[in-house]
Amino acid sequence: MRTATVLAPAMTALLTLAPAPGVSQDAATSDPRLPEASRRLQQYLRIDTTNPPGNESEAVAFFAEILEREGIAYETVEPEPGRGSIWARLEGGPAPGIILLHHIDVVPADPRFWKHDPMSGTYENGYLNGRGALDTKGLGIMHFEAFLALARSGEPLERDVIFLATADEEAGGRHGAGWIVRNRPDLLEGVGLVLNEGGSGRVLGNRVVFSVEVTQKVPMWLRLNAVGPAGHGSSPTTRSAVTDLIEALERLRQDPFAPRIVPAVGDFFRHLAELESAAAELADPEGLIAEPDRLAALHRTNPSLHALTRNTCAVTRLQASSKINVVAPAATAELDCRLLPDQEPRAFIRELRKRLDQPSISIEVLLSFKAAISSTDTDLYRAIEAVTTRRFPGSTVMPAVTAGFTDSHFFRDLGIVAYGFSPAVIPGSDQGGVHGNNERISVQNVERGWRTMLDLLEMIAVAPKRRVAPADFTPTAGGQD
């Protein structure tokens, strides 16, 4: 190995546990029918990292034990008990380093609505089932297997290659990527590229299309605080904090923010129109938003694409009195607002205040990020195009904009190019599993995915004279894309 083994002292106790406390009783074993990468994913899915509370340190122990066996140096951090992150670095030449980033935590899942227990990692009909299979434990294992294969090869590298698994992305990243950026900037020295979640492959017509997320709408989470006279529910007054809040929210609902097309979204829409006949209406984005009926139809049929045409605010939480017969003196509403990438946050707040038109309501900012766009004029983007074309003949790659947000923004804020890209080809029927029920990924996607990721790393990081053409991939377990 090119690096000496380093075991973080805080992890020593965790590694002696078999299985770890947050791992199901089956996590120490895996289905013998599965190839190695898929067996690892099955074990990873069985580690409960639901956020809240997270418990990501149990998964950190999982990765640390494998890195220890492989003789690869790593470090861990734990900003709060149980909220761990881990990274390992393969040292290379002076070219800007690349981070393989995924988040350990997953959103809650209600077993009542799943075919299989969300934490079971059940293998059935060529698929691994479990919360995180797509978001983002599956991608994490693709990164990890490619990283391990690169380390085993001993090939000299032109740049550092870093595996990074972080906590807390699903709650904004404060204990994960955000903490690392703020408190361990030394880890980012020399880094110029990041591969993260946000884009993947899908079949449009008879062609595989890979989207590469280059920018995203900017989250701004707000709390509206209304105050008014308190009293008894039997004698309602002419106004209250609750009625003021309801009236203001209704004004916001009836008067949505004006639609407009930013350049990145315009390019994304036109690419979709070229690739999919059903998306022909997107060929002229400016014309689309100029016709309210067409824009309303897009909202009904594809809310995700519609969200890219304007700033949006969704009312997600309401709170007032704790007793049914008390008119509360205060009421709150929490808004999940998403801003177009060119929107200035303070100007947005001013516009929102004007739309609410209620002096008794104050606006509290809970979370806000800066906007940034990663250029596609990079060696990494061109390598993604080359590798996907080789692995998926006839496929194409397009830059994409997402309505959601990921940890990529922490790195873009520092001027680091970050792309959302997964080499998996996800059927439309499975895409609803992200934050939904019955999340799953095919073994074929896992096994082909990590090999495709290795191809990409070899192209972008291995010295040209040492590169070896990759072998063709034959699935060793079932599962169709």
Q: Provide the pLDDT for residue 205.
A: 78
Q: Provide the pLDDT for residue 206.
A: 83
Average pLDDT, the chain: 91
> Is 3's pLDDT higher than 80?
no
What are the sequence ranges of the domains in the chain?
Answer: 9-198+406-466, 217-368
Q: Provide the pLDDT for residue 29.
A: 67
- Asked if the 217-368 domain carries CATH number 3.30.70.360, the reply is yes
DSSP count for the chain of H helices, then E strands: 15, 18
Assigned superfamily of 9-198+406-466: Zn peptidases (3.40.630.10)
- Least confident piece of the model among 33-42, 192-201, 267-276: 267-276
> Is 136's pLDDT higher than 50?
yes
Q: How far is CA 247 from each of CA 62, 226, 240, 326, 347, rounded to the nearest angstrom?
A: 51, 11, 11, 20, 23
Query: Is the distance from CB of 168 to CB of 71 less than 8 angstroms?
Result: no
SS3 state at 409: helix
Select the more confidently predicted residue: 10 or 143.
Answer: 143
Q: Provide the pLDDT for residue 6.
A: 42
Express each pLDDT in 397-428 by its tens digit. 999 999 989 999 999 999 999 999 999 999 98
Q: Provide the pLDDT for residue 2.
A: 32
Rounded CA-CA distance 89/317 in Å is 41
pLDDT band for position 156 (cuts 50, 70, 90): very high
Q: Are strands 85-90 and 127-129 parallel, antiparallel or unpaired?
A: unpaired
pLDDT band for position 32 (cuts 50, 70, 90): confident
Express each pLDDT in 297-334 by its tens digit. 999 999 999 999 999 999 999 999 999 999 999 999 99
Q: 194 exposed, middle or buried (CB, 10 Å; 0-12, 13-18, 19+)? A: buried
Who's near 192: CB < 8 A, 6+ residues apart?
A: 95, 96, 97, 98, 416, 417
